[in-house]
């Protein structure tokens, strides 16, 4: 769809039309787009040369998924350039990227390319950018989640701790992670994610390795806190970084692979733990100590490499270590920049090393239209997170040995990867975010009822293992909701802050989940399972209310928009002080 839709979707008219969050609002705030005024000396600016006679792609010809591209309905030589505000000389002036934007020299409204070129380039971006982002995330997951493997190797006993101490450690980590989210995101926006993310990895790897020398409860809590502080903000930093390279629907699917990488890391962690825990006795040290040391050093190596493999932007890949010619040709850079900016002009609103001011920060935090997504982030994972955190302890309590326990977590992790990716694809194919995301709650409900009604510590251990595996194979809506949050932000400064705020609520949910199972409720945790079941039911209601909220918000705006004459719409677009997702011509995704 065009970002310059007129009432009758007429690109010849300068009238701005209704814009869904699939394509983003065609005009950003003054804060985001340099007051919306073009710079006469800006390279790449051709607003007086833009010709509507140049061919444009037909939106219906876009084949978003590989299985849609066959010989009968896909022409790789067809024009892929989608209609945009930049196709009309009048509207192009209003949405001109500022001169300070790092990619301005590749901005060209007259550029045209084919579907074959675009899809080939997206695959190249996947190889150059996305795969390494997944590898970095796997390193984070190894260092924050290997505590689950450590507890199977007499970790708590040797440090003279109990279940409540373990819960406190998880809480301290998540609280520290949560508190660091927004400051980390602001630092990243200031100095650039290509600098900050590798620095984070190097710093947290040092703390992760130092857990080799843990001596008791105090050192355990200190290390968990430091680890949370240094890892906090990594996820929203990466999401913002990836948004420079991908369209909205592409980002949603890539985030599915991103969280799949986390699950792959959990599988690798089980295999690594199986080997590293066998080092128990080497130089008279426990296996869990070697686990922390070796996996931490692995992250240190990856962090150093990341300084090389993370370019600042699509047009800044050239360097001594990445190659003087860079990763992309001039033609490829033009395609990357213009295909993204034509879909969402707000992505040119800020330089990639431009800080968020306190005023913009407060404005973004007050954006109440994103609060429903924050509430979902707080609640949706709790019913599955608590059983996940206790899976290794549960399996060991059922009578499985240390090494078999670490291997038995693999089936649910692998199944979870497939169900999560399937759910993400379904959401994009179906075009329905809210009810697709709610499927995870429907999946978990019968299994939560079972573990509440039946004491799984008294049934056959393989039956209990099967029940827990099916529960934890649930399809997570996390990739859908992260991309959903990005779509409904509709401005760089909002996207920067909202990504951090959403993840803060997700981390807060982890804190809640870490304290549902208590020592006095062990080993069945009936009280805890009753809480999880109740939250699952509440979550189903929350998804329904979120759907109603966004439908009503869109209907309200649609009514006001339809009541305006064409001249009134033109006047609104030229004079409005509404910004980002508060504009009348913006529609929320749901």
Report the 3 state secondary structure along 107-158.
CCCCCCCEHHHHHHHHHHHHHHHHHHHHHHHHHHHHHHHCHHHHHHHCHHHH
In the DSSP assignment, the letter for residue 521 is G
Q: Measured between alpha carbons, how far is 193 from 50 in angstroms, rounded to an integer?
A: 34
What tokens does 420 get?
Answer: 């999560």
Ramachandran angles phi, psi of 159, nearest 5°: -100, 10
Kindly compute the dihedral angle of the four CA atoms of residues 57, 61, 62, 65, in this order, to the nearest 10 degrees.
Answer: -160
Cis peptide before 523 (omega within 30 of 0): yes
Report the candidate in 432, 446, 442, 471 with the shortest Cα–Cα distance to residue 539. 442
**Angle, vertex CA 258, rays to CA 83 and CA 191, nearest 5:** 75
> Percent of the chain having pLDDT more than 90?
24
- Secondary structure class of 575 (helix, strand, coil): helix
In the predicted model, what is the mean pLDDT of residues 151-177? 86
Q: Which residues are registered as beta bridge partners of 319?
A: 323
pLDDT of residue 373: 93
Distance from chain centroid for Cα 377? 12
Band of residue 65 on the pLDDT scale cut at 50, 70, 90 = low
CB contact set of 295 (below 8 Å; sequence gap of 6+): 142, 143, 146, 208, 269, 272, 276
Band of residue 2 on the pLDDT scale cut at 50, 70, 90 = very low
Q: Measured between alpha carbons, how far is 294 from 373 in angstroms, rounded to an integer?
A: 38
Bridge-based pairing of strands 586-587 and 19-20 is parallel
What tokens does 546 get?
Answer: 């979120």
Q: Give the least confident one: 83-92, 145-154, 282-291.
A: 83-92
Q: Measured between alpha carbons, how far is 557 from 187 in angstroms, rounded to an integer?
A: 36
Handedness of CA 483, 485, 491, 492 (dihedral sign): negative
Report the candidate in 209, 246, 250, 259 with the shortest Cα–Cα distance to residue 419. 259
pLDDT of residue 538: 94
How do residues 171-192 score in pLDDT, each as one tens digit?
889 889 888 888 888 888 888 8
Report the candidate in 130, 411, 401 with the shortest Cα–Cα distance to residue 267. 411
Q: Do residues 557 and 587 make contact, with C-beta atoms less than 8 angstroms apart?
A: yes
User: Global pTM?
Assistant: 0.75
What tokens does 498 get?
Answer: 């909202």
Q: Give the least confident one: 154-158, 260-264, 493-497, 546-550.
A: 493-497
Secondary structure element (H or E) that encloses residue 19, with its range: strand 19-20
Q: Measured between alpha carbons, how far is 86 from 72 in angstroms, rounded to an integer?
A: 32
Number of Cβ within 10 Å of residue 398's Cβ equals 20
> Percent of the chain having pLDDT more than 70?
85
Residue ranges of E strands in 282-441: none
pLDDT of residue 33: 42
Q: Measured between alpha carbons, how far is 174 from 225 in angstroms, rounded to an integer?
A: 8
Q: Measured between alpha carbons, how far is 248 from 154 in angstroms, rounded to an integer?
A: 46
In the DSSP assignment, the letter for residue 199 is H
Q: Give the least confident one: 55-59, 150-154, 493-497.
A: 55-59
In the predicted model, what is the mean pLDDT of residues 90-107? 81
Band of residue 236 on the pLDDT scale cut at 50, 70, 90 = confident
Kindly calculate the radius of gyration of the chain based on its CA atoms and give it in whole angstroms: 25
Q: Kindly tell me the burial class for residue 353, based on how many C-beta atoms sit within 10 Å of its own C-beta (0-12, 13-18, 19 or more).
A: middle
Q: Identify which has the larger pLDDT, 490 or 325.
A: 325
pLDDT at 6 over 60: no
In the DSSP assignment, the letter for residue 367 is -
In the DSSP assignment, the letter for residue 62 is -
What tokens does 574 get?
Answer: 């030229």
pLDDT of residue 223: 93
In the predicted model, what is the mean pLDDT of residues 560-578? 80
Ramachandran angles phi, psi of 327, nearest 5°: -90, -25
Q: Which residues are registered as beta bridge partners of 587?
A: 20
């Amino acid at each position: 769809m065009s970002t310059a839709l007129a009432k009758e979707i007429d690109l010849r008219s300068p009238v701005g039309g209704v814009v869904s969050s699939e394509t983003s609002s065609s005009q950003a705030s003054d804060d985001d787009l340099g007051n919306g005024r073009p710079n006469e000396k800006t390279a790449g600016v051709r607003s007086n040369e833009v010709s509507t006679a140049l061919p444009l792609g037909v939106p219906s010809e876009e084949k978003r998924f590989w299985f849609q591209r066959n010989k009968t309905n896909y022409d790789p030589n067809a024009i892929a350039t989608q209609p945009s505000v930049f196709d009309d000389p009048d509207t192009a002036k209003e949405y001109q990227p500022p001169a300070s934007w790092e990619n301005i020299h590749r901005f060209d409204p007259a550029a045209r390319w084919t579907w074959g070129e675009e899809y080939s380039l997206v695959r190249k971006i996947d190889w150059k950018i996305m795969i390494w982002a997944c590898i970095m995330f796997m390193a984070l997951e190894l260092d924050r989640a290997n505590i689950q493997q450590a507890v199977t190797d007499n970790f708590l006993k040797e440090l003279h701790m109990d279940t409540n101490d373990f819960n406190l450690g998880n809480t301290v980590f998540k609280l520290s992670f949560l508190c660091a989210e927004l400051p980390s995101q602001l630092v990243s926006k200031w100095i650039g994610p290509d600098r900050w993310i590798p620095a984070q990895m190097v710093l947290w790897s040092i703390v992760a390795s130092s857990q080799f020398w843990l001596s008791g409860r105090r050192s355990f809590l200190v290390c968990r806190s430091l680890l949370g502080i240094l890892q906090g903000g990594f996820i929203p930093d990466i999401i913002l970084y990836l948004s420079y390279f991908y369209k909205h629907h592409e980002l949603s699917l890539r985030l599915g692979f991103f969280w799949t990488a986390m699950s792959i890391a959990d599988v690798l962690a089980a295999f690594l733990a199986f080997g590293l825990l066998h080092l128990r006795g080497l130089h008279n040290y426990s296996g869990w100590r070697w686990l922390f040391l070796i996996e931490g050093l692995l992250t240190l190596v990856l962090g150093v490499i990341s300084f090389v493999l993370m370019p600042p932007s699509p047009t800044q890949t050239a360097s001594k270590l990445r190659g003087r010619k860079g990763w992309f040709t001039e033609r490829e850079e033009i395609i990357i920049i213009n295909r993204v900016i034509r879909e969402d002009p707000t992505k040119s609103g800020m330089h990639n090393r431009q800080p968020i001011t306190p005023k913009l920060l407060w404005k973004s935090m007050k954006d109440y239209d994103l609060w429903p997504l924050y509430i979902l982030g707080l609640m949706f994972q709790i019913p599955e997170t608590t059983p996940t955190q206790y899976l290794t302890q549960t399996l060991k309590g059922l009578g499985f040995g240390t090494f078999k326990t670490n291997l038995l977590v693999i089936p649910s992790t692998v199944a979870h990867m497939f169900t999560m990716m399937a759910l993400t694809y379904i959401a994009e194919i179906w075009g329905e975010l809210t009810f697709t995301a709610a499927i995870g709650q429907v999946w978990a409900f019968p299994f939560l009822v079972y573990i509440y009604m039946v004491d799984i510590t008294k049934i056959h251990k393989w039956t209990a293992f099967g029940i827990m595996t099916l529960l934890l194979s649930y399809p997570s809506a996390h990739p859908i909701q992260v991309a959903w949050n990005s779509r409904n932000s509709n401005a760089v400064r909002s996207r920067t802050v909202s990504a951090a705020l959403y993840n803060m609520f997700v981390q807060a949910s982890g804190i809640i989940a870490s304290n549902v199972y208590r020592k006095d409720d062990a080993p069945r945790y009936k009280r805890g399972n009753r809480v999880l079941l109740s939250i699952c039911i509440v979550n189903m209601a929350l998804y329904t209310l979120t759907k109603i909220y966004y439908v009503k918000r869109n209907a309200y705006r649609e009514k006001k928009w339809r009541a305006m004459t064409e001249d009134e719409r033109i006047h609104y677009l030229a004079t409005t002080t509404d910004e980002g997702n508060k504009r009348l011509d913006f529609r929320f995704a749901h």
